[in-house]
Amino acid sequence: MSRKKTVFLTAVLAFALCLSTVAVAAQQPDLENGSLTDAVNGVPVGWRVLSYYPDGYSVDTQDGTVTLSSLEINDLRLCQTVEVEPETAYVFSAEISTGRVSGGRGATLSIDNYSVDGTCLYSQSVYGNSNWQTVTLAFQTNPGQEAVVLALRLGGYSEDSSGMAYFRNVSFRLATAQDEPILSLEEWGSQTQNSGADGDLNEAQEIFLRSVFDIFLGLTVLAAVILFFGIYRNRDRLGDRSMDRRQRRQILLLMILVGLILRSILCSAWGGHDTDMSCWKGWGIYIADNGPADFYTAPGHEWYDYPPGYMLVLGFIVKIMNILGISLSSDVGTFVFMLPAYAADVLCAILLMRFARERGLRDGWQILLAGLVVFNPAAVVLSGAWGQIDSILTLFLLLTFLQLLRGRRIAAGALYGAAIMIKWQALIYGPVLAAAYLLSVRSWRDLVRTLGGVAAALGVSFLVILPFQGGQSPFWIIQRLWSAAGGYDYASVEAYNFQALCGGNWAPSDTELLWGITYKGFGTAAIVAAVILAAGMLWFAFRWDGGEGRAVPVRQNPAGEDFFFSPRRQGAVFLSASFCMYMIYTFGHYMHERYVFPVIFLLLFAFVCYGDRRLLACSLLLSLAAFLNEMCAMYVISDLTMAVVRSGTEHQNMVNLCAVLETASFFYFCYTCFTPDRGVGREAVCP
């Protein structure tokens, strides 16, 4: 055959095809044996039987009625492929009757195109014992769609049913104007997101995975009972103990040891968050091997969104491990990467203990507060199971505030620079810190030192950045910061806060929230309000306490250390820092689940200053919310389980529950901030 002929024939065929398409478009679709009268071996002619489980079912056809029966749960269906036109509305209908149908989807009419193009649709479900009823399914085909698989169905994907389903008088026709709301054929994957992993998991595993949220909930309730009914309720009995220095040190050491064992158990059980752990290890190896110079510029490194401070630590850890010969892939290797965070937890506990002692709290209280840091459920999960480093950020923030309170402005600035280099979130505390610096200026010397603090922050940052400079533009770090800030353009990234409660979890931040306001708009307003309110809190505290903004005399405390700030002002610094972050986390956008973590410890410091038991309660409440949130987030984001879990209502329920808890705890915190303490207050915690 010559080439010309081929072209000609193809053209003719194509023309004919076009014509026929036009002709068929107006025609009714061709369903074979809709009356179900002809059957061979019980199966109607033109139809085929499909099932998820290979046995335990039967299909029978008699006098135009087909019976699908399955004693065990199954996804049993009688299918026929029918040619259709793209973007056309059809109606699929039949009469259904059922006997003892239970579980899953029940008896339905279904479009089972999942194996063809990933689409799937069900009619209303019929369950139990029911008489004949007409069920219809009206739907619109997708662009380019040429065929649909019609199914008379007992059960559904991942929704197996058992019982007997009877079908008769099946019809399939073009839709008319009178037909009910017409559904579009949706991507099955977009409905459930579980197509990939589902096949790899057996049923028992899936049942376990789906029930893990119940374990988390149970653990949270257990933690709540211990924290509130046990510790909070007994705080005076526990705190009202005196002990000598040696005893205190022994108890602290014991707590550190038990905390370490607890975390090692969690670490071996969970093995850290998959992605984060492999990042730590990979980054550490790269820096240990190649040095930091091209860390951010090497091919494939463009997305690295962490500031460089902790990268140096990672490189250092890997070097040490190489020298000691510890395998990175072993359990011990994983645990080593969790140790810096645990060390930070312990140091936070010691700082809090010291601060409490300086503020004259009883020995029992000092130990109790240290215990609330070391065994804080939210901290245990982060530095034991997950392997994240928010504790380290918290440690540097606390050090910054404590230095500032002692009037060491330059040291505080340097530490703040380090905090920023650990995690960008440290910047959120910037406005409060700036306000505290400025409000406490009482002489030219203070002003010069304030400027010195800023210079120290920039200097430390510069020193950390320098090794990573390589051949980049001088302002590369600013670019990194912006790309990190907009890196996850979602209203909430597994942060179960107010925005998540409104449906913002993994919703693009420019989605409308209400009345044309986007999540981002609402979040921005909330962030501005939070900063203004926090700075205002600080301003009021300074005015009322010192009178007209003047500084009070330096206070001599029992430990002999000088505080630059009066007790109430110290409290105000911690309180307004907590408030700023807490409110931004609750109502802001772009939030991740761990951003609120430092607030838990900041609140404990504020409690030490004010002695208001409600602040302790706030810290415990937030610990519980953060604990549940972290566990769910860690579990959902870890890759193996994500697909199955994210699809379920279990996850959504947990998001809602946790978001309600978090938001409620914020409102309780507000109430605490803006009402005077009617309780016994300071007298309860001080000798």
Partner 1 sequence: MKNRNTLRRERRYVRWMWLLTLVYTLVTFLNLGTLRFPQTVWSSRQGGELVIDLGESVYVQSAWFNGNIGTGTLRLTGDDGTLYEYNQVYSEMFSWESKPLGFTTRYITLTPVEGDVRLNEVAFFDEQGVLLAASVAGWAECPLLDEQDTVPEASSYLNGMYFDEIYHARTAYEFLHGMPVYEWTHPPLGKLLIALGVTVFGMTPFGWRAMPALFGAAMLPVLFFLARRLFRREDYAFLAAALFAVDTMHFTQTRIATVDVFVVFFILLMYLFMLGWLRTDFLRAPLKKALVPLGACGVSFGLGVAAKWTGLYAGAGLAVLFFTALIRQGLRAGRDPALRSLFWKRAGVTVLFCCGFFLLIPALIYFLSYIPFYRVAAAEVGGNYGLGDALQTLLQQQESMYYYHSTLTATHLCQSAWYQWPFTAKAVWFYSSSSPETGMVSLISSFGSPAVWWLATVGTLCLAVECAFGRMRGSVTWKDGSVFLVLVGVLANFLPWTLVTRCTFQYHFFPTVPFLLLAALMLLQHLEERGEVPAWSKWAWLGIAAVFFLLLYPAASGLPMARTYAEFLEYVLPGGVLFYGAV
Q: According to CB under 8 A, which one of 34, 44, 104, 598 is a site residue for partner 1?
A: 104
Across the strands, what pairs with 43?
A: 40
As a whole number of angstroms, the distance between CA 86 and CA 119 comes to 14
Nearer to partner 1, 64 or 118 (CB): 64
Nearer to partner 1, 74 or 425 (CB): 74
| 371-408 as b/e: b if 16+ CB within 10 A | bbbbbbbbbbbbbbbbbbbbbbbbbbbbbbbbbbbbbb
Structure tokens at 654: 């947990």
Nearer to partner 1, 27 or 131 (CB): 131
Phi–psi pair at 96, nearest 5 degrees:
-125, 140
Q: According to CB under 8 A, which one of 29, 44, 106, 292 is a site residue for partner 1?
A: 106
Across the strands, what pairs with 492?
A: 505, 591
Burial class of residue 63 in the structure, from the number of CB atoms within 10 Å of its CB (0-12 exposed, 13-18 middle, 19+ buried)? exposed
Asked if residue 598 binds partner 1 (CB under 8 A), the reply is: no
Q: According to CB under 8 A, which one of 29, 68, 75, 160 is a site residue for partner 1?
A: 160
Residue found under tokens 């947990």: 654
As a whole number of angstroms, the distance between CA 451 and CA 434 comes to 11
Asked if residue 63 binds partner 1 (CB under 8 A), the reply is: yes
Residues 6+ apart with CB under 8 A from 300: none
> Apex CA 434: angle with CA 431 and CA 437, to 5°?
150
Burial class of residue 10 in the structure, from the number of CB atoms within 10 Å of its CB (0-12 exposed, 13-18 middle, 19+ buried)? exposed
Asked if residue 329 binds partner 1 (CB under 8 A), the reply is: no
For residue 26, the 8-state DSSP code is: T
Asked if residue 203 binds partner 1 (CB under 8 A), the reply is: yes
- Residue 269 CB, shortest distance to partner 1, in Å, is 16
CB 345 within 8 A of CB 262: no
Asked if residue 180 binds partner 1 (CB under 8 A), the reply is: no
Nearer to partner 1, 487 or 679 (CB): 679
Q: According to CB under 8 A, which one of 8, 15, 229, 667 is a site residue for partner 1?
A: 229
Q: According to CB under 8 A, which one of 28, 129, 275, 479 is a site residue for partner 1?
A: 129
- Residue 225 CB, shortest distance to partner 1, in Å, is 4
> Apex CA 112: angle with CA 108 and CA 116, to 5°?
180
- Residue 203 CB, shortest distance to partner 1, in Å, is 5
Asked if residue 302 binds partner 1 (CB under 8 A), the reply is: no
Nearer to partner 1, 107 or 328 (CB): 107
Radius of gyration of the chain (CA): 32
As a whole number of angstroms, the distance between CA 371 and CA 349 comes to 7
Phi–psi pair at 99, nearest 5 degrees:
-135, 120
Site for partner 1 in 540-579 (CB under 8 A): none
Asked if residue 675 binds partner 1 (CB under 8 A), the reply is: no
As a whole number of angstroms, the distance between CA 397 and CA 400 comes to 5
Residues 6+ apart with CB under 8 A from 266: 380, 381, 384, 385
The number of beta carbons lying within 10 Å of the beta carbon of residue 609 is 24
Nearer to partner 1, 102 or 556 (CB): 102
Asked if residue 247 binds partner 1 (CB under 8 A), the reply is: no
Nearer to partner 1, 214 or 639 (CB): 214
Residues touching partner 1: how many (CB under 8 A)? 46
Nearer to partner 1, 47 or 166 (CB): 166
Asked if residue 188 binds partner 1 (CB under 8 A), the reply is: no
Nearer to partner 1, 213 or 605 (CB): 213
- Residue 235 CB, shortest distance to partner 1, in Å, is 11
Ranges of beta strands (E only) in 353-455 are: none
Structure tokens at 386: 């997950």
Across the strands, what pairs with 69?
A: 58, 164
Q: Mask 207-226, x = binds partner 1 (CB under 8 A)? A: xx--x--xx-xx--xx--xx
Asked if residue 467 binds partner 1 (CB under 8 A), the reply is: no
Q: Which stretch binds partner 1 (CB under 8 A): 13-21, 121-129, 172-180, 254-262?
A: 121-129
Nearer to partner 1, 59 or 432 (CB): 59
Q: Which stretch binds partner 1 (CB under 8 A): 23-31, 64-72, 146-154, 551-559?
A: 64-72
Q: Which stretch binds partner 1 (CB under 8 A): 102-110, 174-182, 192-200, 304-312?
A: 102-110
For residue 232, the 8-state DSSP code is: I
Q: According to CB under 8 A, which one of 97, 108, 394, 665 is a site residue for partner 1?
A: 97
CB 437 within 8 A of CB 404: yes
Asked if residue 478 binds partner 1 (CB under 8 A), the reply is: no
Q: According to CB under 8 A, which one of 230, 486, 487, 679 is a site residue for partner 1?
A: 230
- Residue 211 CB, shortest distance to partner 1, in Å, is 6
Asked if residue 65 binds partner 1 (CB under 8 A), the reply is: yes
Nearer to partner 1, 220 or 665 (CB): 220
Asked if residue 45 binds partner 1 (CB under 8 A), the reply is: no
Asked if residue 35 binds partner 1 (CB under 8 A), the reply is: no
Smallest CA-to-CA distance from 534 within 576, 570, 582, 572 is with 576
- Residue 53 CB, shortest distance to partner 1, in Å, is 11
Distance of CA 180 to the CA centre of its chain: 39
Asked if residue 205 binds partner 1 (CB under 8 A), the reply is: no
- Residue 234 CB, shortest distance to partner 1, in Å, is 5
Q: According to CB under 8 A, which one of 94, 107, 126, 412 is a site residue for partner 1?
A: 126
Length of the chain: 687
CB 541 within 8 A of CB 574: no
DSSP 477-531: HHHHHHHHHTSS-BSEEB--SHHHHTT-BT-BTTSEEETTEEHHHHHHHHHHHHH
Smallest CA-to-CA distance from 490 within 633, 321, 284, 667 is with 633
Longest dimension (CA), the chain: 107
As a whole number of angstroms, the distance between CA 448 and CA 432 comes to 19
Asked if residue 204 binds partner 1 (CB under 8 A), the reply is: yes
Asked if residue 55 binds partner 1 (CB under 8 A), the reply is: no
Q: Which stretch binds partner 1 (CB under 8 A): 33-41, 130-138, 283-291, 662-670?
A: 130-138
Asked if residue 71 binds partner 1 (CB under 8 A), the reply is: yes
- Residue 368 CB, shortest distance to partner 1, in Å, is 13
Asked if residue 371 binds partner 1 (CB under 8 A), the reply is: no
Which parts of this chain interact with partner 1 (CB under 8 A)?
A: 60, 62-65, 69, 71, 73, 97, 99-100, 102-106, 125-133, 159-160, 166, 168, 203-204, 207-208, 211, 214-215, 217-218, 221-222, 225-226, 229-230, 234, 237
